[in-house]
Amino acid sequence: MNMENPVPELQHGLQHRTVLLDEAVDALALEGARASGTYVDGTFGRGGHSRLILSKLAPEGRLIAFDKDLQAIATAEQIGDPRFAIVHDSFATMREALAARGIAQVDGILLDLGISSPQVDDASRGFSFRNDGPLDMRMDTTRGISAAEWLAVVDERQLEKVIRDYGEERFAFQIAKAITARRTIEPISSTRQLAAIVANAVKTREKGKDPATRTFQAIRIFINQELEDLEAGLNAAFELLAPGARMSVISFHSLEDRMVKQFLASKAKVEQPDRRLPIRAADLPQPLMKLISKTKPSGPEVEANPRARSAVLRVAERLETAR
């Protein structure tokens, strides 16, 4: 593979284009002495970001990647680079996983929060209603319960809350009611079955958007504890970053991006004390991070990969004053 211009990754015949590939890796500033550092790729996916990082690392550099998906782990294990290691777990566990390897600080962290195209396009995973398949939706099929198992037992009020809060769905009440009514007649076990139930419950929808989109997003986020993992991962990443190190985070929907934006802003701003108090300038609170950039995919990238259209890359740097 040409590392200067990585091609789309292939996995079991399914194509994946890494979104904001160059922008996210370039933001880590892997030049000079920094190329000898230790880095984290929090979501290996199909390896686009990891491969590009490795192409820029010095021989003594190091990259630790994380992923919950078994197919991603299988792909990562084919890399065979002594500078690279893969961890079969959520990036939320990065602090503990790195500590087990004797790593207390890193020189950069990249989090790509998006679900990969092979996951979406593989009907057997149950992430999409485009093709019929079992209603699973787990990133890690070795742990937890499937979406079908959860829908069979969830309380109607909790289901409504999940669909409303994680899907930002205004018809959450009607959808939850329809799902719980249908499961008394038959198990809800396939993606097309769930999509049809939602479509019957939602009478109006934005032009060009399937009625089931928000519900599928909500259930996927809940089943995989994506927002809980993101909160834990952001906190762990901040603690691991060495002074001067950067964090690149790519989000794909408003809930994720809002969390990332608010987290970084909270580290970049400080509450200033009353100016009337006798406090020396050296003792004033200092920001812990500096906001570097916010980037969206270019027109040509969105044209080549429509799934990139909602992506947002935010970059921040840990300040020297932070420790």
Residues 6+ apart with CB under 8 A from 143: none
Please determine, for residue 13, whether its predicted confidence score (pLDDT) is greater than 60.
Answer: no
**Rounded CA gap, 319 and 280, in Å?**
20
Q: In this predicted structure, what is the pLDDT of residue 138?
A: 96
Q: Does domain 141-223 have CATH number 3.90.105.20?
A: no
Identify which has the larger pLDDT, 291 or 13: 291
Percent of the chain with pLDDT over 90: 80
Would you say how long the chain is, in residues?
A: 323
pLDDT grade, residue 307 (50/70/90)?
confident
pLDDT grade, residue 282 (50/70/90)?
low
**Rounded CA gap, 109 and 323, in Å?**
18
Percent of the chain with pLDDT over 70: 89
Q: In this predicted structure, what is the pLDDT of residue 75?
A: 96
Minimal CA–CA distance to 40: which of 25, 18, 55? 25
Q: In this predicted structure, what is the pLDDT of residue 267?
A: 95
Q: Which residue numbers belong to the known binding site for S-adenosyl-L-methionine?
A: 47-49, 67, 91, 112, 119
Please determine, for residue 10, whether its predicted confidence score (pLDDT) is greater than 90.
Answer: no
Summarised one tens digit per residue, pLDDT across range 53-88 is 999 999 999 999 999 999 999 999 999 999 999 999
Q: In this predicted structure, what is the pLDDT of residue 14?
A: 43
Q: Where in the chain is the domain with CATH 1.10.150.170?
A: 141-223
Q: In this predicted structure, what is the pLDDT of residue 12?
A: 39
Q: In this predicted structure, what is the pLDDT of residue 146?
A: 98
Let me know: does 44 contact 79? Beta carbons within 8 Å: no
Q: What is the DSSP letter of 93?
A: G
Mean pLDDT of 253-279: 83
pTM: 0.89
The pair phi, psi for residue 6, each rounded to 5°, is -60, 140
Summarised one tens digit per residue, pLDDT across range 203-243 is 777 777 889 999 999 999 999 999 999 999 999 999 999 99
- Mean pLDDT value across the chain: 90
Please determine, for residue 281, whether its predicted confidence score (pLDDT) is greater than 80.
Answer: no
Report the DSSP pairing between strands 241-251 and 312-318: antiparallel
Mean pLDDT of 109-135: 90
Minimal CA–CA distance to 61: which of 69, 72, 73, 52? 52
Mean pLDDT of 285-290: 87
**Rounded CA gap, 200 and 236, in Å?**
42
9-117+226-322: CATH superfamily: Vaccinia Virus protein VP39 (3.40.50.150)
Q: In this predicted structure, what is the pLDDT of residue 199?
A: 95
Q: In this predicted structure, what is the pLDDT of residue 285?
A: 66
Q: Where in the chain is the domain with CATH 3.40.50.150?
A: 9-117+226-322
pLDDT grade, residue 28 (50/70/90)?
very high
Q: In this predicted structure, what is the pLDDT of residue 204?
A: 74
Cβ atoms within 10 A of the Cβ of 104, count? Answer: 11
Q: Which residue numbers belong to the known binding site?
A: 47-49, 67, 91, 112, 119
pLDDT grade, residue 120 (50/70/90)?
confident
